[in-house]
């Protein structure tokens, strides 16, 4: 999640840490947080249109990918 915050730190309107990390852009927002019951991250993403959604989903997927050891 640190990579996500660093990537968007200067380009978005608001970042909060209330429940994981919430990032609010001009035409989109997302929340990334660890699951309380499973060993995974949960991503919620909404955007003004499908083009923005697809672009942000691709960015976030790349940023959240954890390389295997």
Give the pLDDT confidence of 8-38 residue by residue, as tens digits: 887 887 899 988 999 999 999 999 999 989 9
Question: Is 51 domain-assigned?
Answer: yes
Question: Is 69 domain-assigned?
Answer: no
Domain assignment of residue 40, given as a range: 2-64
- Total domains, the chain: 1
Mean pLDDT of 58-67: 84
Burial 35-67 (b: 16+ CB within 10 A, else e): eeeeeeeeeeeebeeeebeeebeeebeebeeee
What letter does residue 26 receive in the DSSP assignment?
S
Residue 40 tokens, joined = 């995974």
Number of Cβ within 10 Å of residue 14's Cβ equals: 9
User: Cβ neighbours of residue 39 under 8 Å, at least 6 residues apart?
Assistant: none
Q: What is the CATH number of the domain that holds 45?
A: 3.30.310.50
Task: Calculate the average pLDDT of the chain.
Answer: 88
- What pTM value is reported for the model? 0.80
């Amino acid at each position: 999640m640190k990579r996500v915050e660093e990537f968007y730190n200067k380009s978005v309107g608001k970042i909060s840490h209330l429940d994981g990390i919430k990032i609010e852009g001009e035409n989109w927002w997302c929340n990334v947080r660890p699951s309380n019951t499973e060993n995974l991250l949960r991503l919620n993403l909404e955007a003004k249109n499908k083009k923005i959604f697809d672009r942000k989903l691709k960015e976030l997927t790349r940023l959240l990918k954890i390389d295997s050891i």
